[in-house]
Chains A and B, each alone.
Chain A
Amino acid sequence: MNSFTTNIQLVYILAAACFVVGLHLMNSPGTARRGNQVSTAGMIVAVLATLILLIHAGTVTGIGWTVIIVGALLGSAAGLQSARRVQMTAMPQLVSMFNAVGGGAAALVAVYGYLHDESTKAGVLGTTTVTTALDVIIGSVTFTGSLIAAGKLQGIITGQPVVLRGGRLLNAALAVIAVGAAAFLLTTASLPALLIVVLAALAFGVMMVLPIGGADMPVVISLLNAFTGTAVAMAGFVITNWALIVAGALVGASGGILTKLMADAMNRSLANIILGGFGTGDSAAPVAAAADAQIKSVAADDAAIQLAYASKVIVVPGYGLAAAQAQHAVAELAQVLQDRGIEVSYAIHPVAGRMPGHMNVLLAEANVPYPQLKEMDEINSEFSRADVALVIGANDVTNPAARRPGTAISGMPILDVDQAKSIIVVKRSMASGYAGIDNELYANPKTSMYFADAKKALAEMTAAVKTLVA
């Protein structure tokens, strides 16, 4: 290692350190922006160092420069454009797209590394071969898997689980083909084998995500994020670049932790989600008719009276709120209540929304200060002191049945909404949540059901509270 390449490696280590510090600063909303800036600075330094390395190498052809610069500029423009335009409700799709391109780029780096090595050395490819194969496989799976996930989230592909007959068998076959061809590559240099690995891995990515239902997306996105990180780390092994290895490992850790948190919050194992099964066959079974007798329905005026004369209100937003784009409406109602001196906070279940922490971003966008956003563990003890719990578009995460053994959601961590003195549930119908079971909360004598679209209901309640207090 001569002194020039040593210096470049040192710059890469500096960049890696910036990434770690940047992530560390994300441990509180107050410092998170600085964290992002530190991380950006590290990235700029790393890219500049790479450009200097390219100039120093002196082997980049004119076409080579044109190709990478035009490619990078067009990519930057596309990335910037989507980052500026994206609606906060569409964040999961965008994150998925970034996973896709990141994984795709990592796979391409390995494919090129392989082609280049093969053309120069011919034969067995030394120590990087295992990581090359892993990079190609993981990167390709991430690429198509993330595209399918983004398509499902965007509604281009149905959010319902797509279960093909013999799908699992096909999956297993694809996995065997990809790994088998990769194993063959380890001993024999072969371009066709590489192609087979790529194609099988691409197909596996599609087949892995298609059978997964829309409600499981928080887990899938996290998992694909972990995949991308691993693929990038493997790309770092292929080109012996420590910045890639460290960055990839950090992202792999982040994705892994979030995957586990999401799966735990849904009370499901990763295998169970990937293999599918939930909400695929038994959706017709639950009928709410039996509980009808005990269900109490309420209108805007009555709900407004409860809210206006409360001293503590806890809002429980769920995916239904995001789907109805009602985050601004709920923030407005909360503001009216706070102006009356009522304490309002939000109880956020870990899987509210379509990706980890999604609901917090939606509410932040609606100008809700983050100290009002409470995590499940923090807020659960406060429900018993709340006069009203206002549940909007959340279902399974409030079902007390989770505390009993023997139900579909037994053991799932829930928000203790039933501890509140009174409960208002805004919901379009009595339809069950994705777990496919009745919510016992709705039959609770303390509960009033407000049947309406979340946005409309919130606007009506806000108007009613305003008239009441005027």
Chain B
Amino acid sequence: MKAQAAQQWLEERIGMSAVTKLAQKKVVPVHRHSIWYYFGGMTLFLFMVQVGTGILLLLYYRPSAETAFESVQFIVSEVKFGWLIRSVHSWSANLMIAVLFIHMFSVFFMRAYRKPREITWLSGVVLLFLALAFGFSGYLLPWNKLAYFATKVGTDIAGVVPVVGKFLLRFLRGGDEVTGATLTRFFGFHVAVLPATATLLIALHLVLVQKHGMSVPPSLEGKPYRTMKFVPNFVLRDLIGWVLAVGALALLAAVLPWELGEKADPFASAPAGIRPEWYFLFMFQTLKLIPAKILSFDGEVIGILSFGVGGLLWVCVPFLDRSPKIAKLLTVIGVVILLYIIGMTIYGYVG
């Protein structure tokens, strides 16, 4: 009786019943491609793990060139379970990007970006770019050798962009070189700018998903199909996935703890075997293979601009898909891109 009164009291003040009604009405289509519906929620879960472990790391991390490496060393060697928190943060970041890629390609191949979901796609692709920015900025924070050179190369790539390149490079580095100033900036991006932007975009993305409901593949459109209730049927299935993810993270952190490497030294040669995180590897490998000169242009400039244009076209996919013919072509292009990314990534590890 008291609980009911409390509920009534709350209801009069915040009116949560509108939300619960909406949740009860929500359904998820059931068909042979339904498995792909789980990857968006999985990305969200891993993002929440990142926020949680990130806040924990902030309690001990000290962002300066003199103290960053030592503070991470302190976290993994002195702080109780510090190794676990740090490893889970690194592993979860990688899994999140992997799951994000799967989510994006499944949306692409099921053509879920079509009207009226163009802005859902747009916000999703921008979120992918943000995730890569999270990865790139976070990678520098332990201030180790690999991170130092990855940042040198990565920011130098930004400098290649015509017209605004020099500005971008100095903006990113906080000067002309990668120094402690760069570390401070990246720290600011990583823990303030990116989380705030990502949270807003995730909110928009989720509101749009609720507004439009789940998309079904074109082959099922106009035909009757089964559905399941979002609450509790789909949520409970989601939950199983999340519990499995926690298990996977714990296993990876325990069996393959994330290495710290050696402290960055601005006056040491780049170590042999240096390579970026796997999600940048296909671009890295391409830059490695491109000849110094293509016609009279620098090869690197051509390569970097091509990736830029490619990324832009990818953002525009919902607006390019305007006829069944183009849709088929887009699918073929999507397969080629996917194979290229996978192939180059493997080549990057083996070659």
Q: Do A and B assemble together?
A: no
Chain B residues with CB under 8 Å of chain A are: none
Chain A residues with CB under 8 Å of chain B are: none
